[in-house]
Copies of this chain bind each other. A is one copy, B any other.
Amino acid sequence: LSLSRAEAKNLKALYTKKGRRLAGRFVAEGVRLLEEAERHGVLPVHAYWAPALVSERGAELIERFRKSRVPLTQLSAAELARIAGTEMSQGIVAVFATPAKSGEPDVFSGRNVLLCENISDPGNLGTLLRSALAFDFDPVILIGACAEPFSPKVVRASAGAIFGVNVFEATAGQAVVQAVKSGLTLIASGAKGTTDMDQILSDNSSSGLMLAIGSEAEGLSADIMNVADKVVRIGHTDRVESLNAAIAGSILMKACYDRKSLR
């Protein structure tokens, strides 16, 4: 019923970027999030829980973890509170192995792929991962200075999608080569776009798309803009300068998903 000093230190380290990288592990907290992991067939390598803090639903989750032979450590409420990153842990903190997915991904012919460049806000990146899974964009490739996909904020904003979608970190060059190899049409989203998504989708009935979303402040880099097959613009009033990056990406992914469903 207690945590050694060393164990507590290792666990706390997973709330830092360096600690996650060194350990090859990340953390997720809260019943809903862990149920989503379960739904995607991903089990933690270890779970810490405080009986006094868990709901009935949380206790059932722990029971399923036990049956699946997930190593469990029972803690006091005070001990768990010292570890947990947020007040939203609901009495459970679980440790997961980080999937090794950097470098050049495989070939993805016929699939829709989301390319995120410099999406540095963890909330926006997590939301884009969630929408990607919702609208059948998989994998998601991260280039430039994106938020770290396994940080607690991204994991939470993804609402568990991080456990379902394949995420790769790559360079712009690798991503572009990938689009070419896989025969994907590279679509850049940008304020200077001239084509609307419906037009692109009716021109592109068979092959998959690689949809590139840049940061709100800067847009996509020349690395991507110069080689994009089309630049798409989302029509809106002139009462705002631009849309939120996660909103723009999600609206475009939804349009692709609807079109694909019709075929």
Contacts and interface: CB of A to CB of B under 8 A. Distances in A.
B261 A135 contact: no
Contact of A159 (B127, B134, B236, B244): B244
Given A123-B123, A261-B235, A134 B36 contact: no
A189 interface: no
Contacts of A77: none
A208 to B, nearest CB: 16
Contacts of A235: 257-258, 261
A92 to B, nearest CB: 17
Given A254-B251, A258-B235, A244 B131 contact: yes
A36 B216 CA distance: 15
Contact of A240 (B130, B234, B244, B254): B130
A241 B36 contact: yes
Given A247-B247, A250-B247, A134 B240 contact: yes
A237 interface: yes
A188 interface: no
A111 to B, nearest CB: 13
B254 A234 contact: yes
Contacts of A244: 127, 130-131, 157, 159, 246, 250
Contacts of A135: 236-237
Contacts of A82: none
5 contacts: A40-B239, A134-B240, A136-B239, A160-B240, A235-B257
Which of A136, A164, A240 gathers most chain B CB within 10 Å? A240
Contacts of A241: 36, 159-160
A133 interface: yes
B164 A239 contact: yes
B133 A243 contact: no
Nearest to A123: B123
Contacts of A28: none
Contacts of A159: 216, 240-242, 244
A159 B244 CA distance: 8
Contacts of A161: 239-240
A5 to B, nearest CB: 34
